[in-house]
């Protein structure tokens, strides 16, 4: 585990053309001033607002979750006190793409 104080692995994912197939995908890029932001955190919250999972963005500022169909919230936390919440709806066979300017 890295020394960043959080259990989420840093690394991010490549967001090249993703075929969701039989899964629902929620993914995105976190940037600041037009540049990818590494070390930000994307948290997935269910419809009740409960924490489900978290990933840290890598050098490309990317994150990805595989989720069940339905409503979700992606909460992004980044340096300089940034917190943003983004309601999304996951659907099998579809990819939800978020672009977050932190």
**Domain-by-domain residue ranges, the chain?**
24-101
Q: How confident is the model at residue 10 (pLDDT cuts 50, 70, 90)?
A: low
pTM across the whole model: 0.82
Q: In b/e form, how buried is each residue of 39-49, taking b as 16+ CB within 10 angstroms?
A: bbbbbbbeeee
57 vs 13, higher pLDDT: 57
Residue 87: how many other CB atoms lie within 10 Å: 10
Please report the pLDDT score of residue 1 as a whole number. 36
Which residues touch 98 (CB under 8 Å, ≥6 apart)?
Answer: 26, 27, 28, 29, 74, 86, 88
At 28 the pLDDT is 97
Residue 38 has pLDDT above 60, yes or no: yes
Q: Which CATH superfamily is domain 24-101 in?
A: Immunoglobulins (2.60.40.10)
Provide mean pLDDT across the span 59-76.
97
| Cβ-Cβ contacts under 8 Å for 85 (sequence gap 6 or more) | 73, 74, 75, 76
Average pLDDT of span 78-99: 97
Residue-level pLDDT at 17: 61
């Amino acid at each position: 585990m890295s020394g960043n104080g959080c259990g989420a692995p840093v690394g991010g994912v490549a967001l090249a053309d993703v075929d969701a197939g039989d899964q629902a995908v929620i993914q995105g890029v976190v940037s600041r001033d037009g540049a990818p932001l590494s070390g930000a955190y994307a948290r997935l919250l269910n419809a009740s607002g409960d924490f489900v999972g978290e990933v840290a963005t890598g050098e490309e500022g990317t994150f990805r979750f595989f989720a069940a169909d339905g409503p979700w919230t992606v909460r992004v936390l980044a340096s300089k006190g940034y917190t943003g919440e983004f309601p999304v709806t996951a659907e099998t066979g579809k990819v939800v793409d978020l672009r977050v300017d932190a």
